[in-house]
Amino acid sequence: MNWTSPLYRLYEHRLIGALPRDRMPAHIGVILDGHRRYARQEGKADLLETYREGVAKLEEFLEWSAQLEIPAITAWVLSTENLDRTSADLDPLFIVLEELLRAIPALARRLGFSLQVIGSIDLLPASLALAAKEAERDAQFGGWQFNLALGYGGRQEIVDACRSLVSGLVQSGVAPEEIADRIDIPAISANLYASSIPDPDLVIRTSGEARLSGFLLWQAAYSEFVFVDPYWPAFRRVDFLRALRDFVHRDRRFGR
């Protein structure tokens, strides 16, 4: 099918029309995977160009989400493990991520979202960390929530949540022998990076990989997963709509 044809647009329209509003996800997590493999497949030697394509796709994805009135999106663009890659891989990615962060306030104003950057920002290059803090400060326009997972690791988030919880208990004067009794599921959940939004209903990963790789480990306990074949820069609106169609037809029992 020609994905720019009127027939394709009709197909998209029908997919949207078949999505019941009362079964749509309130929070979608998305793992933006496959940039380097996409570059090899397309014969692109310049990773900078490929990462820019990926950022353009993320901006499109946020537009699609706004049109569908999805209340919250969490996009994983850089993991703590990614930071072990070579400078040849990381330097162009850092450049493009900084460009993204500089552009986000204007995008947030246009689409009506508020930004939260989650992850170990202190592990990032200074200029990128500063751009993240400034973007988070300047991109607060109410409406729906966009979380950008940057230097993020799911295990580290749980460790940080436990540390934050225990530190808070100590500061509030809880006796050491009582601290263990105060550590429970709601308490840890309240100390996660983005504790104010619900757990993701749906997690989408591109590039054909069928694993979470540590993404939202705590929050995704009862999420539905959709693994799609296209690499992130090649991810299309129709792929998104098909993932949503798959989601709304699932019987979610939450372990019951």
Phi, psi angles (nearest 5°) of residue 192: -70, 165
Is-catalytic flag, 147?
Answer: no
Length of the chain measured in residues: 256
In this structure, which long-range contacts are made by residues 102-107, counting pairs with CB atoms below 8 Å and at least 24 apart in sequence?
A: 102/131, 102/135, 103/59, 104/135, 104/139, 104/148, 105/135, 105/138, 105/139, 107/59, 107/62, 107/139
* DSSP run (H or E) holding 98: helix 87-111
- Give the neighbor-by-neighbor strand order of the sheet with 202-205: 113-118, 144-152, 72-79, 27-31, 202-205, 224-227
Closest CA to 145 of 119, 123, 118: 118
Query: Residue 252's Cα: distance from chain center in Å?
Result: 22
Report the sign of the C-alpha dihedral through residues 152, 154, 156, 159, in that order. Answer: positive
Catalytically annotated residue among 2, 22, 46, 82:
82
Is-catalytic flag, 82?
Answer: yes
Residue 197 one-letter amino acid: I
Q: Are 61 and 240 in contact (CB under 8 A)?
A: yes
- Quote the CA–CA distance of 87 and 103 in Å, as a whole number: 24
Between the CA of residue 136 and those of 39, 120, 132, 175, what are the distances in Å?
A: 30, 14, 6, 36
- Quote the CA–CA distance of 244 and 226 in Å, as a whole number: 9
Catalytically annotated residue among 33, 147, 191, 201:
33
Residues noted as catalytic: 33, 82
